[in-house]
Amino acid sequence: MIEVSGVSKRFGNFVCLDEVSLMVRDGTIYGLVGENGAGKSTLLRLIAGVYRADAGEIRIDGKKASTVSAKRDVFYMPDRQYYERNATPLTVGKFYGNFYPEFSMEDYCYLLGQFELDENALVDSFSKGMKKQMFIAAAICTNTRYLLCDEVFDGLDPQVRKAVNDILVSAAQGRNLTVLVVSHYLEELRKICTEKGYLHRGRILTEAEWQGMLAG
């Protein structure tokens, strides 16, 4: 379980997150909705242990998110993924295999086939959607307990979004993977998420507050 309790984060004089609290239960797909600049990416980086909160606390299975043991259970997939020059899907898989002891190359290659991605092609030759599919496959095959996805639907056509949706749902149901996905695509989150939260200008809103904001 991911527990975020009263977390605040500032960058200079800018308050990015203001006493945010939420809970992501095991085995759920939790969708965090918010407009660009709401603080979604910052919250994911805090949970992943990339940033440290100025106030409040984040725990993963009771362990502080900043500890090594907590980080081992989490895979963070940013909006823009890193890969080496001249990388292929196979070298990307080997890269993650060096960092995640439970990474399954067999499952990864299977998913590449399902997505019809050439495992020996240059990643630079892939479209944005193809890269997203490849990194989602890699993320799932790390076999961590938690997957954090930042704007995973951004820039994808409907067919690719459906493929990404299907693989996230399958992984969550098949091995009790817990997924926290942030996006401004509310309709996509409604299709797959078992729970939702709403983030606006660094604060968590109720669904009624969110709907009222949209109506206003």
Task: For residues 165 and 141, give the distance between their C-alpha atoms in angstroms, rounded to a whole number.
Answer: 16
For 109, the token pair is 């290659």
Tens of pLDDT, residues 53-101: 999 999 999 999 999 989 989 999 988 888 888 999 999 999 999 989 9
pLDDT score, position 50 = 92
Q: Which domains does the chain have, with CATH numbers?
A: 2-215 (3.40.50.300)
Percent of the chain with pLDDT over 70: 98
Question: In which band, very low, low, confident or very high, does the pLDDT at 154 lie, cut at 50, 70 and 90?
Answer: confident
Which residue intervals of 39-157 are DSSP H helices? 40-47, 68-71, 89-99, 105-114, 128-141
Q: With bands split at pLDDT 50, 70 and 90, how would you rate the model's confidence at 170?
A: confident
As a whole number, mean pLDDT of residues 106-120 equals 94
